[in-house]
Amino acid sequence: LTIRAAGAREIADSVEKCKEVERLYWRVEKGSTPTSVLFPWLPSEARKNKVAATGEIYNLFDGIIKARRSEGRREEDALQVLMDLGDSTPEIIAFIMGTLFAGIVNSGLMSAWIFIFLDQEPEWKAMVIQELKTLLDRYAPLSESYGSIGERLSKIPPQGWENEMPVLEACLRETIRLILSNALLRRATNGNLQVGGKKIPNGAFLVYQAGETHSDPNIYPNPTKFDPNRYSAGQDKSQLHAFLGWGAGRHPCLGKRFAQYEIKAICALFLAVYDYEIVDTTGRKPDPSVTVPDRNNIYQARPKDQTFYIKYTKRSKQL
């Protein structure tokens, strides 16, 4: 979805090329180690792999741009829009790489974890499914003839996805709160900046761990529990910047609306077609105490030393 919305059709139409882009992006991610952040000039193995993978991604899109220009060929995609605007090749590729990284890493993670949390809380899972059924009945009822569930979902207008799925949106918000533990950075460019009564030197970096706010029991009672009701109770508005899932301040996430749309579409398509449960390597349902993210693995956010699977079966009846 991310590649089709923000990348090139030549890649989006090929499963093999999509997998290749995903592989390269995870190579880039694995090169983003604490050492590489503190010592970006150090020629470590992780840095070399990151540079090599970044170069491969650049060359992939550069080749597509050159082919279109030499052939005089046009496509209906984001890449073509940027080309038509006259952006340079480095500008085009930088935009696409940044957007794809956010989509492949963040949207993919949240889509996976929301299924885990919903399976642990059957009442919320049932509410999300009922909300989806209500939406489909309103915009694409079974009494009308549709070729596929994808066609039915396509009949839901943008305002339906954005404004008529409050249950799924609350579940997504709670998933982000529980999973997101990134460090937020700001560089001080004003010598007069003070934080906590301390003057911050000009050029210094400030780092804040988002998990500190999201795990604060004074804001979110019983903070480790998955409880989407928190948002109807206004816990995320109990103080300024109590929720940092989409950033804060002057520069929040520009892709918030698209990311929400994308994750909702993934959840809707899967839940409309399949029943599922989360199982461990033995095929048994895991205890919720072990289905928690490794806080030291901020990009992949995998459960520590654990592997889980989605066991799914096709629904006998359409929603």
Average pLDDT per block of 10 residues along the chain, 319 residues long:
92 94 88 78 88 95 97 95 96 92 83 95 98 96 89 95 97 95 80 83 86 94 95 91 89 89 96 96 90 79 87 92
Query: Which of these, 51, 45, 149, 58, lies nearest to 95 by C-alpha position?
Result: 58
Amino acid letter at 234? G
pLDDT of residue 185: 81
26 CB burial (10 A radius; 0-12, 13-18, 19+): middle
Dihedral in degrees, nearest 10, Cα atoms 110, 112, 113, 116: 150
Q: What is the pLDDT of residue 188?
A: 83
Which pair of structure tokens corresponds to residue 174? 């709670």
Tally the C-alpha atoms within 13 A of residue 73's C-alpha that lie toward its C-beta.
13
pLDDT at 33: 76
pLDDT at 194: 85
Outline which parts of the chain fall under CATH 1.10.630.10: 112-314
What's the pLDDT at 95?
A: 92
Q: What's the token pair of residue 107?
A: 């949207």
Amino acid at the residue 265 = A
What's the pLDDT at 270?
A: 97
- State yes or no: 171 annotated in a binding site: no
Q: Does domain 112-314 have CATH number 1.10.630.10?
A: yes
Taking the alpha carbons at both ends of the chain, their separation in whole angstroms is 23
Tell me whether residue 234 is exposed, middle or buried, using C-beta atoms within 10 angstroms of its C-beta: 0 to 12, 13 to 18, 19 or more: exposed
